Amino acid sequence: MSEVIIATKNQGKAKEFTRMFQPLGFEVKTLLDFPEIKDVEETGTTFEENAILKAETIARLLDRMVIADDSGLAIDALEGRPGIYSARYAGEEKSDEANMNKVLEELTDVPDNERKARFFCALAVASPGKETFIVSGTCEGLILREKRGSYGFGYDPIFFAIEKGKAMAELTPEEKAQISHRANALRKLESELPSLLAGAGKK
């Protein structure tokens, strides 16, 4: 089985990528397997820029092909916030609960029909000496007024997934994989996988 390295230390993302790549014949490794590598400072102004920055930096360090994602929540009534600041929206200490509470508070007076939002994911594939490849995916929804469900991570408990008619955190991992922004981005990537991942585990 070939290896694919995902530039994340987020255990929720790691599990999702593992579920996506294992059926394709790849063993997933993440930055949790490389504790000596420090976090890459995300200085980009878009999800795409941050994904490319992470993928290219880690690919250079490991001299391997690396896939990085940058993803987050964009809420229309908040002019696209939290956006690229989704992970640390409530402060430098990453806290899903604090982030969700801040969003719910900011939307207190926003009526139900104006709570449109979407999850966005940019996936960048970088290899030493090769041009970086990037795709993106979205998932449309609404922001709920209270948390629901016990699956998922991040903003999933307050995100109502229109396609499924449930909060994202009420979906099983298998159901989420049918509609999520990350899965939609990966589906776009799949046709490119044979060439992009050729020899990925042979280093």
How far, in Å, CA of 79 to CA of 144, rounded? Answer: 17
Binding residue per annotation — 89? no
| Nearest Cα residue to 7 out of 55, 60, 74, 76 | 55
Binding residue per annotation — 136? no
**Which residue in the list 39, 63, 70, 96 is annotated as catalytic?**
70
Binding residue per annotation — 112? no
Binding residue per annotation — 17? no
Q: At what angle do helices 11-21 and 181-190 cross, to 10 degrees?
A: 40
Contact 65, 127 (CB under 8 A): yes
Binding residue per annotation — 29? no
Binding residue per annotation — 16? no
Binding residue per annotation — 9? yes
How far, in Å, CA of 25 to CA of 28, rounded? Answer: 10
Binding residue per annotation — 152? no
The strand pair at 116-126 and 133-143 is best described as: antiparallel
Alpha helices in 83-179, H assignment, sequence order: 96-106, 173-179
Binding residue per annotation — 13? yes
The helix/strand/coil state of 192 is coil
Residue 111 gets which letter from DSSP?
Answer: -
70 catalytically annotated:
yes
Binding residue per annotation — 11? yes
Binding residue per annotation — 182? yes
Binding residue per annotation — 63? no
Q: Which residues contact 86 (CB under 8 A, 6 or more apart)?
A: 71, 72, 73, 99, 154, 155
Amino acid, single-letter form, for residue 185: A
Amino acid, single-letter form, for residue 71: S
Binding residues for substrate: 8-13, 71, 153-156, 176, 181-182
Binding residues: 8-13, 41, 70-71, 153-156, 176, 181-182
Binding residues for Mg(2+): 41, 70
Report the catalytic residues: 70
